Amino acid sequence: MWRNAALFLSALVCCKSAASGFASLSSTGDLFAFHKNLTEIDSITYKEQEVGEWLISSLEQQGYNVEKQYMDDESGRFNVYAYPGETRETDTLVSSHIDTVPPFYPYRHENKTIHGRGSVDDKASVAAQVIAVNNLISAQKISQDDIALLFVVGEEVGGDGMRKANDLNLKPKSIIFGEPTEGKLVSGHKGNLGLEIKAKGKAAHSGYPWLGRSANEVLTRALAALMELGPNLPKSDKYGVTTINLGRIEGGVAANVVAESASATIAIRIAKGTPEDMKDEITKAIHLAVKTFLDDGQSPEDVIELNFPSRGYGPIDIDADIPGFEVFTVNYGTDIPNLEQTVLGQKRYLYGPGTITVAHSDHEAITEAQLEEAVGGYEKIILHVLKEERVVKSDL
Ligand SMILES: *[C@@H]1O[C@H](CO)[C@@H](O)[C@H](O)[C@H]1NC(C)=O
Ligand SMILES: *[C@@H]1O[C@H](CO)[C@@H](O)[C@H](O)[C@H]1NC(C)=O
Ligand SMILES: [Zn+2]
């Protein structure tokens, strides 16, 4: 009953503001339908175009001004930037990502639970953010010129979409990032550093191993050194220990051949300090460990190659100073470090529905209640940051 009354009211507000061209989706039914339409589209990283086109058409129908921001390459991939009013560079920005990890799992809604790839990460955030913004505008709690929405590609593979978004020249005083945080505010996340190791051997018959050099032995010695170093890497009270994941190891061709090449791909989650310091420490430890393999005049680089494919980043502190939320830290990476802080004292928040523990799994799913609750959560956060921005403004 109350729900019907609210619907009726929001319909009235909708038609009044429809004069200015804004007719938004706002009911719980809209939320589930919008989330369904998003989640039904396969948008594994590098093929986000279809979901991007759908999102643009929906936002345009709702009265948003929408910009398509293409990546620099020929891929045709693009970010979506939308603002409901006249103001393009708003003080508040809400953002999440439209790509997902592979493989695709189809949408299924039963027993008040919604299953499917992206149902949590990150289409639950996208849907809840859009409906929250619409609700606040419809209820005239915020103005159309207060806020803008940024939906990026490529978050799951290193953040090329968010890095490109720096070219949009936005100057938000507050940014609300959406990722699965179980409806809590996140006060920070660990840093991240990738490492690729290539061991260089010399092939020989396994009966005469001294004629060669086993890349597998070089690599395992290096990995053992890395694992020994692990517990001695910087730790902090806030983020715990730095962890090393030996994600992928490969080497050699057959049991009776001394391996000519071997490699490993590794992810390091940094609890304290800078990626530069971490690179130095790791390089030193591994170079020391492979010393015994060096012939006269050789340097460590002749038998082992260390490649850090990206700059990496240290732990990211995030604002969490909003009353009424539980606060915790997470161990996963986000797009936050990829968006440059263009405004002094810029506030950054991280919040969203669903849990990371199912996010990249084959049983990714969210409950109706979690999705609905997040709409209220985003509304609360947006209202809080707008109030703070106004206080800061009136102080000037
Ligand atoms: C979802 O997609 C269906 C089918 O295209 C469409 O009729 C409906 O209006 C869409 N709903 C929302 C909320 O996007
Ligand atoms: C429906 O979901 C509830 C709570 O998530 C669960 O306890 C129950 O077993 C489910 N029922 C079916 C038929 O899946
Ligand atoms: Zn995500």
Residue nearest to atom 1 of ligand 1 (CA): 37
C-alpha span between 105 and 307 (Å, rounded) = 34
Q: What number of residues does the chain have?
A: 396
Cβ atoms within 10 Å, residue 248 = 11
Q: Which of 205, 222, 200 is nearest to 298 (CA)?
A: 200
What amino acid occupies position 78? F
User: So what's the pLDDT on residue 390?
Assistant: 85
Confidence at 12, pLDDT banded by 50, 70, 90: very low
Cα 7 to ligand 2 centre (Å):
29
User: Mean pLDDT in the chain?
Assistant: 93
User: So what's the pLDDT on residue 24?
Assistant: 79
Is residue 179 annotated as part of the catalytic site, yes or no?
A: no
Q: Six-digit token pair at 129?
A: 């953010």
Q: Six-digit token pair at 366?
A: 């969210």
Confidence at 119, pLDDT banded by 50, 70, 90: very high
191-307 has the same fold as 5-189+315-395: no
pLDDT digits (tens, 9 = 90+) for 326-336: 999 998 899 99
C-alpha span between 327 and 302 (Å, rounded) = 48
CATH fold for the domain made of 191-307: Alpha-Beta Plaits (3.30.70)
Q: Six-digit token pair at 12?
A: 């009235």
Cα 329 to ligand 2 centre (Å):
30
C-alpha span between 186 and 360 (Å, rounded) = 19
Radius of gyration over alpha carbons of the chain, in Å? 25
pLDDT digits (tens, 9 = 90+) for 38-62: 999 999 999 999 999 999 999 999 9
pLDDT digits (tens, 9 = 90+) for 274-295: 999 999 999 999 999 999 999 9
CATH fold for the domain made of 5-189+315-395: Aminopeptidase (3.40.630)
Confidence at 391, pLDDT banded by 50, 70, 90: confident
Domain ranges of the chain: 5-189+315-395, 191-307
Task: Look at residue 324 and tell me whether its pLDDT is greater than 80.
Answer: yes
Confidence at 395, pLDDT banded by 50, 70, 90: low
Whole-prediction pTM: 0.86
Q: Please name the residue ranges forming H helices in 179-240.
A: 215-229
Cβ < 6 A, ligand 1 pocket: 25, 30, 33-34, 37, 58
Confidence at 317, pLDDT banded by 50, 70, 90: very high
Residue nearest to atom 14 of ligand 1 (CA): 34
- Atom of ligand 1 at shortest distance to CA of 37? 1
Q: Kind and range of the H or E element at 263?
A: strand 261-270
